[in-house]
Homo-oligomer: A and B are copies of this chain.
Amino acid sequence: MKVKVGISNRHVHLSKEDFDSLFKNEEFYSIKDLSQKGEFMSNLKVTIKTPKGMIEGVRVVGPLRSKTQVEISKTDAYKLGVEAPIRLSGNLDGAADIMLSSPNGELMAKSSCIVAKRHLHVNTSDLDKFGIKDNQVLKAIIPGDRGGSLDNIIVRSKDTFTLELHLDTDEANAFNLKNGDEVEIIGE
C-alpha cells in the first residue's frame, strides 16, 4: 500500500490546568486544521527550556488533552540536553520533565517530554481493506537518493483517523522526505 507522509515538527499538547497556567484568559483557536480530524495547529506558542538551552516558538496543538505532552526530535533532545524517550503519543512512561514558558507564566511539565515513535494512522473502516490490524508492526520503503526503509511502524486506528505515516523531522530529513510525499508500506 502507498501512503502519504505527515511530518511532525516539535509541538506541545496542553492539559486544561497547564493551559490555564500559561495562557489564562487568552483566546485559543485553530489557525490550520491538521490532517487528523479534530486536531488543529493553534494560534499559541510556548518556549521549551532546560538548564542547557531553549527552543522558542513551539506550537501548541489543539484541542486540550488530559495530560500535557511535549513532542520533540532527537536533534532537539541533544540541543536541550534532555533524556526524552521514544514513545508512542499518549504513552508517557519515563517521559522527561521540561520547563514550558509563555509571556504569562512558566511551569515545569513533569513526565511530559517524548520523542514520538513513528506510526501509521489508519481509519478503522480501512483496516480490512488493507488487511492490517490495530497495533500491527509494519515497514516503510522510501525511494530516492536518500532512500532506505523504516522498521517498527505501529498501526494506530480510530474512526476519526486519516491514512498517513507520521514521522518526525529527523526521520523525514534523513530520507529527504517532504509533507505529502508517498512511500510504500509492507509487512515486516
Given the complex, which residues of B lie within 8 Å of A180, measured CB to CB?
A: none
Contacts of A173 in B (CB 8 A): 73-75, 78, 170, 174
Shortest Cβ distance from A150 into B: residue: B148
Contacts of A134 in B (CB 8 A): none
The CA of A5 and the CA of B79, in the complex, are separated in Å by 20
Min CB distance A79 to B, Å, is 10
Known: A75-B170, A170-B170. Is A151-B148 also a contact (CB below 8 A)? Answer: yes
- Is A182 interfacial (CB-CB < 8 Å)? no
Task: Tell yes or no: A171 within 8 A of B by CB.
Answer: yes
Count, chain A residues at interface, CB 8 A: 24
Of the candidates A78, A117, A171, the one having the most CB atoms from chain B within 10 angstroms of its own CB is A171
Determine if A187 is an interface residue (Cβ-Cβ < 8 Å). no
Query: In this complex, what residue of B is CB-closest to A77?
Result: B173
- Main SS at interface, chain A: mixed
A145 part of interface (Cβ distance < 8 Å): yes
**Taking CB as reference atom, which chain B residue is nearest A177?**
B74
Given contacts A75-B75, A170-B173, contact A148 B146 (CB under 8 A): no
A53 to chain B minimum Cβ distance, whole angstroms, is: 12
Pair B145/A75 contact, Cβ less than 8 Å: no
The interface residues of chain B lying within 8 Å CB-to-CB of A139 are 148
Do B146 and A86 touch across chains, with their CB atoms under 8 A apart?
yes
- Whether A175 is near chain B, meaning CB under 8 Å from some CB there, is yes
Indicate if A8 sits at the interface (CB-CB under 8 A). no
